[in-house]
């Protein structure tokens, strides 16, 4: 009887011990394995576009340990294929791009084309920052946005979706950058600058503090912008002068001659 009681206590103890030592760890190992699996899966990414810009993006992705599983080209002919294994076809094949699957980055440099593609897809988007870029902790960055080598984004800046912050661009504190903007190499945005949706800031341009650049504007390479710029304008030179005020056909098509509900309030 006594032996039985002792042995049943021992069995209970062993069972408790088993719970602690064997069952719990097995459970947590499984959890870790699942986490590792999902991490590996999320490393996979697709690029829409297969030209020069796509090539730069793929290098940044690969340096960051991401695996580019597909580069998709929607034109029957492209000037050059920057990537291996590009999916392309003889006719326009944009409808063959699947919305499901790995997250996507739209690797197209032209703002109107990038916006057009983004408007026609319904997939998950990734974002990627080159390891030599500096992005302050308080910065907010939208989906599909890429930040290239040596770029700097200072505190409280807000960067929209599908934006390109190109090589060595400098975005100072509290800047607000709209969707589909391209800030070209070595462009400098001083503090509290606002850049409207779709605008292209040329290489080496300087925009002084608190300036507002409208939507779908072009700022020429090397321009120095000292005054606000209305929507759809092209500005060149130092000091910047407006040389065009009309939207290009591309922009008109994209925005459907839309007058924005909330036009930019310019600093006067």
Ligand X SMILES: CC(C)(COP(=O)(O)OP(=O)(O)OC[C@H]1O[C@@H](n2cnc3c(N)ncnc32)[C@H](O)[C@@H]1OP(=O)(O)O)[C@@H](O)C(=O)NCCC(=O)NCCS
Residues binding ligand X (CB under 6 A): 166, 184-185, 202-203, 218, 220-222, 234, 236-237, 243
Query: Which structure tokens are listed for 174?
Result: 């509290």
What is the nearest approach in angstroms of ligand X to the Cβ of residue 42?
Answer: 29
CA 194 to chain centre: 18
Catalytic residue, candidates 53, 173, 182, 200: 173
Residue 116 vs residues 126, 127, 185, 196, 211: alpha-carbon distances, Å? 18, 18, 23, 17, 27
Nearer Cβ to ligand X (169/254):
169
CB 238 within 8 A of CB 246: no
What is the nearest approach in angstroms of ligand X to the Cβ of residue 191?
Answer: 22
Distance CA 188, CA 209 (A): 10
Would residue 173 show up in a list of annotated catalytic residues for this protein? yes
- 3-class DSSP state of 159: strand
Question: Which residues have CB under 8 Å from 31's CB, separation 6+?
Answer: none
Check residue 96 and report its DSSP letter.
G
Helices (H) and strands (E) in the chain, counts: 5, 23
Nearer Cβ to ligand X (93/113):
113
Nearer Cβ to ligand X (56/141):
56
Nearer Cβ to ligand X (70/214):
214
What is the nearest approach in angstroms of ligand X to the Cβ of residue 24?
Answer: 55
What is the nearest approach in angstroms of ligand X to the Cβ of residue 262?
Answer: 26
Distance CA 216, CA 180 (A): 9
Nearer Cβ to ligand X (133/234):
234
What is the nearest approach in angstroms of ligand X to the Cβ of residue 195?
Answer: 14
Q: Which residues are tagged catalytic?
A: 173
């Amino acid at each position: 009887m006594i032996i039985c009681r002792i042995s049943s206590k021992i069995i209970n103890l062993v069972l408790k011990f088993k719970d602690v030592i064997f069952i719990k760890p097995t459970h947590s190992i499984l959890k870790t394995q699942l986490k590792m699996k999902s991490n590996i899966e999320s490393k996979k990414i697709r690029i829409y576009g297969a030209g020069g810009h796509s090539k730069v993006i793929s290098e940044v992705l690969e340096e960051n340990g991401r695996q580019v599983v597909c580069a998709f080209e929607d034109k029957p002919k492209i000037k050059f294929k920057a990537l291996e294994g590009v999916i392309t076809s003889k006719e326009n094949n944009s409808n063959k791009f699947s919305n499901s699957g790995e997250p996507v980055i739209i690797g197209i440099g032209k703002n109107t084309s990038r916006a057009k593609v983004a408007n026609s897809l319904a997939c998950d988007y990734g974002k990627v920052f080159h390891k030599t870029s500096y992005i302050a902790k308080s910065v907010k960055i939208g989906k599909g946005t890429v930040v290239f080598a040596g770029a700097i984004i200072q505190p409280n800046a807000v960067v929209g979706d599908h934006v390109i912050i190109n090589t060595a661009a400098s975005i100072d504190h509290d800047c607000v950058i709209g969707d589909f903007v391209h800030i070209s190499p070595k462009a400098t945005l001083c503090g509290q600058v606002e850049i409207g949706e779709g605008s292209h800031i040329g290489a080496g341009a300087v925009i002084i503090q608190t300036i507002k650049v409208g939507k779908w504007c072009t700022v020429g390479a090397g321009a120095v912008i000292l005054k606000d710029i209305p929507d759809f304008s092209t500005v060149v030179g130092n000091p910047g002068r407006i040389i065009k005020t009309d939207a290009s056909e591309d922009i008109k098509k994209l925005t459907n001659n839309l007058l924005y509900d909330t036009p930019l309030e310019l600093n006067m």
